[in-house]
Amino acid sequence: MTMTRLLPSREDEDMLETISRFAASEMAPHVAENEESGTFPREVIGKLGALGVLSLPHDEAYGGSAMDDEVALQVVEELARTWATVGVAVTVHWASVHPLWKWGTDEQRKRWLPDLIGGDLLGGFCLSEPEAGSDPGSMKTTATRDGDDYVISGTKAWITHGGDADFYTVMARTSDDGARGISCFLVPGDAPGLTAALPEKKMGLTGSRTSQVQFDHVRVAADRRIGAEGKGLSMALDALDTGRLCIAAVSTGLAQAALDQAAEYARTREQFGQPIIDFQGVSFLLADMSARTSAARALYLDAARRKDRGVPYTRLAAEAKLFASDAAMGVTTDAVQVLGGAGYTKDYPVERLMREAKIMQIFEGTNQIQRHVIGRSYR
């Protein structure tokens, strides 16, 4: 069954149709091979950059499209529906640009933003550390002022695009004042002293490189600090609000892909002389999968519309990420069940979708952290 979207304008519909055709022609033929070999699809990201996808949320003055989140996130969902690695890559790039775009000076934006969102460069976002994941305020990476420079030393962990990124947005400690002692820096990917460890060996999303990034006295000019000293953590948390919506969109794309695969299989697989979709046990599974997917989409779009209108959306972003990632885990698991033994083999993509869905419950703050954010909003 073809999924229909309600979009604000005909232009938005045409753009989503372009993305859908691109995904079918330029992405779908390479998913299985790249995920099996652990190869990052940099060429695909470059082509998306040429289409303007890497610059969708950003101001037109700097080469962006100034697209509302309501539409941009559906682009992410459509990409993730075909290839989660690509959907995640786009959202991580957006997060990497976010502090410069929102808090950079006019001079900084004019100097760096056009190149960073122009389509040729890829970003990485360096917040987590080996001992500072859910509690980023306890990070130990330091940025020490030395004349007109800062010298950054420490190790960042779980960095998407670690070793592949052309630039990193790095949170580092500039004072001992706890969460208020963290600042934000824009660091070139080829800076002397910056190295990436070997990629993590993950259960899913294997086409996306994740690694530690090490800073060994990396010297950056003071004008590469974004915002005032001590404001880095608040920037990171703001980026995480948007990032949670992005992961909700990716999760919804995964769920939709699993539902599509399961429904197609159930229509063509026959047992006892009839398609298995005619059996109530299977049709009820598909009905629940469909309801979860539609609810996940509605929740992230509600939060996105609030964000577009300047209405507080932090709680809704956490709810969307929590619900959509749990939905993706449930829907992909049920898809394997619909396919039975075939679903447990690599002959069909549903087992990969299930493995990819698991990380969505961990990305951008675990779902336990999301529950903390939601519960705290009622205090």
How many beta carbons lie within 10 A of that of residue 363, not counting itself? Answer: 22
| 4-15: b (≥16 Cβ within 10 Å) or e | eeeeeeeebeeb
Match 């999924």 to its residue by tokens: 3
Q: Beta-strand (E) ranges in 174-308?
A: 182-188, 194-196, 210-221, 225-226, 270-271, 274-275
Catalytic residues: 364
